Structure 1
Amino acid sequence: MPSSTPPLSSEQEDTKNSTFKMLGLSPALLTVVKNAGMKDPTPIQNAAIPPLLAGSDAEILAPTGTGKTACYLLPLLAHLQKRKKLVGLIIVPTRELARQVTAMGQTLAPSPSFYPFAVYGGAKDDSAEDDIPPPDVRVIVATPGRLLDLFRSEWLEPTLCRFVVLDEGDRLMAGEFREEMQDILALLPRDRQTVLVSATGSAETMTAAQDFLYKPVRIEPERNIRPSIRQAILFVDRQDKPAAAEALLRRHNDRSTIVFATTRDEVDLLTRHLRKRGLKVVGLHGGLTQPARNASIEAFTKGTATALVATDIAARGLDIEQVGQVINISPPEQPDTYLHRIGRTGRAGRMGWAATLCAADERKTMRKIETALGLKLAVLPVPDVTENKTAKNPADRRRR
């Protein structure tokens, strides 16, 4: 069983008097932190960075938007500054998270020689990207399958990987990646520091993770500390869900929105529907080429699209601070998935909004989520969708 730090107290939540300098970072890293505009560590950074600098294995469990990426990047870079030739390895489940971590790593790297390099499946679809890391790379961000390719081709020597991070570790430990992760574990050196990072963690996945960890310190906030997200349910007939989603988007047209759908086909259908209604919408799912996925994320990030319709590929790894609301077209099957979805809003201290559209045959699933997470969500009235069904956009309504 992992050792545990005490839950973060209310006093620890107020870190106004705490600075990164007090955590023991090197002058070079303190400079990049300052240049990145990070004035004070977040509570989870305050708790996690010192034991990671000391070399402890750790489980960092905290909600999205609390600064977990910098929690492990700064200590990893500090270790690499002192240990030449060794490699920092960050394993992630998705391409989007790989790109996100790589961008953050470039911001925090003390010099270009520490810039992370991302390798993931599908990169060959993007002619602007080279999927082969340079020989002197110090930090690699990789999905499990591509990492195994690097090991098996002998491009990367596993014994050099002494600092290993499992980002979104709960998903890496799940069935989708479990076999590949066990193959990776067999190749990694025993003499290493391993950090597991996640917003959620079931008993099953945390048990599986113990194979990777040695006497880990568990670092997590108090259970009742949650991001500022207002959550609600709307009971909607299944056939009226597209119109209800449109009504919510129009009601809060000043908020950028991620709309979560279950399948790729559902994403495509809903995206086409909303575009026909005159809304600026882009879609995102695993069936798109990497350039198309990049274009959707860029359009949403820059604000040229006000809504992103996506599968759960967008529930992890997208760190877009201005997301004002999340709409679930249906409640997800797993409570952890619900947490990851709504965690896309309410970030960086901003108030967020999350609405779930629930048909009659989905009420049992929604009750399971509420029970598992200790929630009692407000029930809101269904917006009037009659006008939406008869008018393409606000201009059409004015012409009638």
Structure 2
Amino acid sequence: MPSSTAASSQTSTDQKSAENGSFSSLKLNATLLARLGKAGLKEPTPIQKTAIPALLAGHDAEILAPTGTGKTACYLLPLFDHLLRKKKNTALIIVPTRELARQVTEMGTLLAARPELEPFAVYGGTQDDPDRDYDVPPETARLIVATPGRLLDMLRTERVESASCRFLVLDEGDRLMTAEFRDEMQGILALLPRDRQSVLVSATGSAETMAAARQFLHRPVRIEPEKGEKPSIRQAVLFVDKASKPTATEALLRRHPDRSAIVFASTRDEVDLLTKQLRKRGLKVVGLHGGLTQPARNAAIDAFSSGKATVLVATDIAARGLDVEQVGQVINMSPPEQPDTYLHRIGRTGRAGRMGWAATLCSAEERKTMRKVESTLGLKLVALPVPTLAQDTPARDNPERDTPARSRKH
């Protein structure tokens, strides 16, 4: 009996908090307002204040904003509002990676006001995951979160019904429009009903990818942050030879042991080698790349999100869709070839209004790539001296001195 009373009291508190907050001024469904606390949403971010009313009004939209600004809630809240009003409609959210599908599904589950609104995830690689059958969505599912290839297969075999889809989201739409997914996305477009509301969400977008995306959108409104907003990520470059990068990375991690960190490496082999080296040095590290089974990938993300591991060493599969608010710093083992990738990487820190820190290690042969990143993005990174390890730094064993092999990507 006491537990029931406490639960009732907590529910009442959550409802009053939500109703008294700024979200109530956005005219969202009252049932949704009562769910905001469960998803950790207290007050709308600037981009949410602009985007949510536009989507509630039924407009197609391009939401272009840096990572960490709350773009997922920008579309999930209007989407759920739509589904609560339109009982027979369904919605699709298309994402480029399993990790983003998982992230969106988790947040959607927290916001779903009714069981039939809980998102159902559809993505490849699930044959290794015994926890759930991802092949056949239940007939009652009204929200599908999917990667392009698996979604197209299900649309063609009618395991996902497209005719009732009246709300479409392209999350990380810039990547969905690249050659990697071009055929699948064209196949999906041909099967979607024309009478729908469509939303593209991204942190970056070239003229080419945005032009391709407009095949999915009808007279979209463009929603961006106001000019002059202060950046929340301090950025620097450290010039260091390749052989010294593992030691420099460890020194950066130990300089701020209270900060959790994501370290981006270029290949799977580099991830595995650096993870092994840092573990030998006594750090709590997990690795993440596309060569791992889905349960192993989930376990690595869960360990990092929960704080059991303070360092995540990853390829660029962690650059999109990994929403861990407490990430204090990002370390790039090398400048990425694509400037947009740099933005997605550093966007893992400085989230939800927090100050973040990003450092890029650059060898002499990588300076041209670093200059390309800076010039394309209009940046001029501060050059900092390479930190050194204290003589008494604890270690379980000496780190292996080896140069990371050039190998498989992601």
1:85: Cα distance to partner?
A: 2.4
**Structure 1 residue matching 2:169: 3-state secondary structure:** strand
Residue correspondence of structure 1 range 140-289 to structure 2 within 5 A:
140-225=144-229, 227-289=231-293
Post-superposition offset of 1:223: 4.5
Deviation per CA, 1:22-46, whole angstroms, max 9, x where unpaired?
2121111121124544232111110
Structure 1 partner of 2:402? none
Of the three residues 81, 103, 106, the one matched with 1:103 is: 106
Deviations 1:151-205 (A, max 9, x none): 1111112111110000000110111111111111111111111000001111111
Aligned residue identity for 1:30: L
SS for the counterpart of 1:76 is helix
Offset at residue 222 of structure 1 (A): 2.9
Secondary structure (helix, strand or coil) at the match of 1:155 reads coil
Shift of 1:384: 2.1
Structure 2 residue identity aligned to 1:84: K
Shift of the alpha carbon at 1:86?
A: 1.6
Q: After TM superposition, give the deviation of residue 387 of structure 1 in Å.
A: 4.8
- Name the SS of the counterpart of 2:110 in structure 1: helix
Supply the distance in 1 between the matched residues of 2:95 and 2:173 (Cα, whole angstroms): 8
Alpha-carbon offset, residue 101 of structure 1: 0.4
Deviation per residue, 1:70-89 (Å, 9 max, x gap):
11011111111121222110
Distance 1:158 1:95 in 2: 21
User: Is the aligned partner of 1:70 residue 2:66?
Assistant: no
Matched, 1:311 2:315: yes
Given the superposition, is the C-alpha separation of residues 237 and 260 from structure 1 closer, same or farther in structure 2, using an over 3 Å criterion?
Answer: same
Whole-Å separation in 1 of the counterparts to 2:79 and 2:383? 45
Aligned partner of 1:94 among 90, 93, 97: 97
Query: What SS does the corresponding residue of 2:63 show, helix, strand or coil?
Result: strand
State whether structure 2 residue 345 is matched by structure 1 residue 341. Answer: yes
Partner of 1:5: none
- 1 CA distance for matches of 2:266 and 2:260? 20
2:236–2:384 Cα contact (<8 Å) kept: yes
TM-score by length of 2: 0.89
Partner deviation per Cα, 1:86-140 (whole Å, 9 max, x = no partner): 2110000011100100111011111222100101001121101210211110110
Tell me the amino acid that sits aligned with residue 43 of structure 1.
Answer: P
Q: Distance in 2 between matches of 1:224 and 1:393?
A: 45
Displacement of 1:224 in angstroms is 4.0
Contact 1:119 1:141 in 2 (8 A): yes
Structure 2 counterpart of 1:153, one-letter code: T
Q: Of 377, 381, 387, which aligns to 2:385?
A: 381
Q: Secondary structure at the match of 1:107?
A: helix
Structure 1 counterpart of 2:15: none
For residues 242 and 177 of structure 2, what CA distance do their matches in structure 1 show? 34
Gaps of 5+ in 2: 1-19, 399-410
User: Where do 4+ consecutive residues of structure 1 move more than 6 Å?
Assistant: none
Distance across 2 between alignment mates of 1:226 and 1:63: 12
| % identical equivalent positions | 72
Deviation digits for residues 347-378 of structure 1, max 9, x if unmatched? 11211110000000111111111111111111
User: Cα distance 1:212–1:186, how it changes in 2: closer, same or farther (>3 A)?
Assistant: same
